[in-house]
Amino acid sequence: MRRVSRIVGPINSLMRPASDRQRGDADALFDKMIRQAEAASGGTAAGDEAFLEEYRFLVRQVARVDSASALGWMGIVGDIRGRMTNRFRVRRLIAENPAILDEPIERPIVVTGMPRTATTLAHKILAWPEENRAPLMWELQATDRADVDEKVRRGRIKVATRSANFGHVFSPVLPQIHAMEPLSPEECVFALPHGRNWLVCFRMPGYRDWLSTHDFQPDYEYYKQVLQVLQYGTQRRRWVLKSPYHLEHLDVLLKVFPDAKIMWTHRDPNTVIGSWCSLMETGVALCNRTYDPHVIGKDWLEMLAQMVNAGRDMRTKLPRDRVVDVSYHQLTANPHEELPGIFKRLEMDWTARDEGNLETVLARPGMKRGHEYSLGHYGLDPDKVDAAFGDYARMVNSMR
């Protein structure tokens, strides 16, 4: 299976001198990124020094990845600059209208679980009812008030479309594995400043260690501000949020969103690991000149197990009705039978309209993804996976 297009090699060769110069002085590049973000957002970096130092650290870590390709480097620099621009814009909007911070984010539904466990299916279905709302990809990347000029809005959607197409152009298999659409609900990672999402393309042990001690509360508080900006001046609806990485931050999430309802999707980790590593290999192949599939397997087995174990530990401290458990196998095999009960546990009514919405979601391209993968290709086997997850697989299989 060809993971990257044939044009990637020549493009990397052409771009490498420029990327090498930037990586050689990451601090100078970052200072320039700050100025660019200020100019693009109309905001200011003043007062946001802690956030910027964390992102400066991230840029330095990426610059130290010897295997990084020019495309990979340019892609992550553009992503970080875009997030800085969005943050400066959000802070400017709040400074101009402090009433934004009075917007209540009430009873959000948070879809989480390991990746490849039907979280995307659940997210789209839960976001469809008129009384609910999920942040769209372009809204997370270019957050603004609902009354933003229509020409500006169209321009930002166009930029988000180019961003979504970046991977699709250079990897023919990526849309089959994980399609992204600017006008569709997307994951919270597009607005949360830090997380394991930065490890998708690059192996950065220093950043991974840093994450283990990072205080995520300011990240989630900022994410709440993003939602408040999007909600300001509009009809208040129930937010439907999604990210697999919420699993290991449920304690912080519930401090910021104390009445959130958690929907946790479950699937046998042996299947999840193989499927996820295949997706990760596509990202790694696109962003690196060389890589070792066994390292991908080792790293993500450790990280996904840490996420699940952290979530299970926090789960024991929560009221039983705070978390709605959903079996991947039952949801995907019998969605028409499973979803009415899930809606009820989430304090939602299942209607004929929702039945029709389900048919629409299921018919969309990409909802029945399939691709080949093998645990052995990543240096893994069922015994290693079971050892990492303990009795989790047994618990998941008991839900069938």
Quick check: 162 pLDDT over 70?
Answer: yes
Average the pLDDT over 67-86 and give the result: 97
Residue 31, pLDDT score: 99
At residue 361, the pLDDT reads 84
For residue 177, pLDDT beyond 70 = no
Q: What is the pLDDT of residue 181?
A: 87
pLDDT score recorded for residue 147: 96
Both tokens assigned to 307: 């996420």
Structure tokens of 223?
């994410």
Question: Which pLDDT does position 77 carry in this prediction?
Answer: 97
**CA–CA separation, 302 vs 193, rounded Å?**
22
In the chain, count of helices (H) and strands (E)? 18, 5
Q: Which token pair is 6?
A: 């044939």
Percent of the chain with pLDDT over 70: 97
Burial group, residue 172, by CB count within 10 angstroms (0-12, 13-18, 19+): middle
The whole-number pLDDT of residue 3 equals: 87
Give the closest residue to 367 by CA, choosing from 118, 195, 191.
Answer: 118
**pLDDT > 80? residue 191:** yes
The domain segmentation of the chain, as residue ranges, is 106-397
**pLDDT tens track for 239-294:** 999 999 999 999 999 999 999 999 999 999 999 999 999 999 999 999 999 999 99
Backbone phi, then psi, for 35, in 5-degree steps? -65, -40
pLDDT of residue 166: 74
The reported pLDDT for the residue numbered 373 is 76
User: 153 and 181 in contact (C-beta within 8 Å)?
Assistant: no
Residues in the chain: 400
Provide the percentage of residues in the chain whose pLDDT is more than 90: 87
Q: Stretch 141-147: mean pLDDT, rounded?
A: 97
Does residue 167 surpass a pLDDT of 90?
no
CATH of domain 106-397: 3.40.50.300
Position of tokens 């933003």?
Answer: 148
Sign for the pseudo-dihedral over CA of 257, 105, 103, 217: positive
Give pTM, 2 decimals: 0.95
Tell me the pLDDT band of 365, cut-offs 50, 70 and 90: low
Question: Per-residue pLDDT averaged across 377-396, rounded?
Answer: 96
pLDDT of residue 176: 63
Strands of 238-242's sheet in order across: 132-133, 238-242, 109-113, 261-266, 323-327
Identify the pLDDT of residue 173.
73
pLDDT digits (tens, 9 = 90+) for 15-70: 999 999 999 999 999 999 999 999 999 999 999 999 999 999 999 999 999 999 99
Q: Is the CB of residue 294 less than 8 Å from the CB of residue 275?
A: no
User: What is the predicted pLDDT for the residue at 278?
Assistant: 92
